[in-house]
A = this chain, B = another copy of it.
Amino acid sequence: MQYPEPIAHLIDSFSKLPGIGRKTAARLAFYILDMPEGEVLQFANALIDAKRELQYCSICGNITQHDPCDICTDETRNDEQILVVEQVRDVVSLERMHEYHGKYHVLHGVLSPMEGTGPEDLNIPSLLSRLQDEKIKEVIIATNATAEGEATATYLSRLIKPAGIKVSRIAYGLSVGSDIEYADEMTLMRALEGRREIR
């Protein structure tokens, strides 16, 4: 016996998602069968709405229901700073801290020669045009603390610095609440390099 067609299709759909193999997809599909019909409809509509109603902001690349996005049009925010992140989810994480009041720019990826992602695949041209048009004083690069994130930060800083704009990188170091005992060597090295005088 194969699965009946409707469940086979649903398993196929689930298994197209990242990190979901055939077995998990089957488990999820059977879970759907036992959900109330109302919730399944909600799920189906959520999929369609998310795809149809959302777009990327033409200025910063953030996700939004209307272009340009709320952050780009917010006049209370400091338009002299642009914080560059890899992905939209990073914007949400940074906004959660309520400490940064400048603008953002989402690259939608990082440079990765291994995966064939070059500068032309990233949201870099619109960043450069923002730097020309706007009165930006500082670009803060908040790519991830990975080899690719580092390479992207270096690439961007070489591109932007000649224009006379300050380029900074967020700090590396011990995570708050973490133990030195369990920290890896690279993190400890960076934490030591980035040490600050106690006054």
Contacts and interface: CB of A to CB of B under 8 A. Distances in A.
Nearest to A88: B30
A16 B2 CA distance: 27
Interface in A1-59: 1-7, 9-10, 12-13, 16-20, 24, 26-33, 35, 37, 39-54
Q: How many copies does the complex hold?
A: 2
A30 B89 contact: yes
Interface stretch (A63-71, A121-129, A133-141, A147-155): A63-71
A17 B31 contact: yes
A53 B18 contact: no
Interface in A128-181: none
A187 interface: no
Interface residues of A, number: 54
A46 B10 contact: yes
Contact of A13 (B19, B29, B43, B54): B43
Nearest to A54: B6
A59 to B, nearest CB: 15
A186 interface: no
A6 B71 contact: no
A92 interface: yes
Contacts of A80: none
A18 B27 contact: yes
A91 interface: yes
Interface of A: 1-7, 9-10, 12-13, 16-20, 24, 26-33, 35, 37, 39-54, 63-65, 70-71, 87-89, 91-92, 95
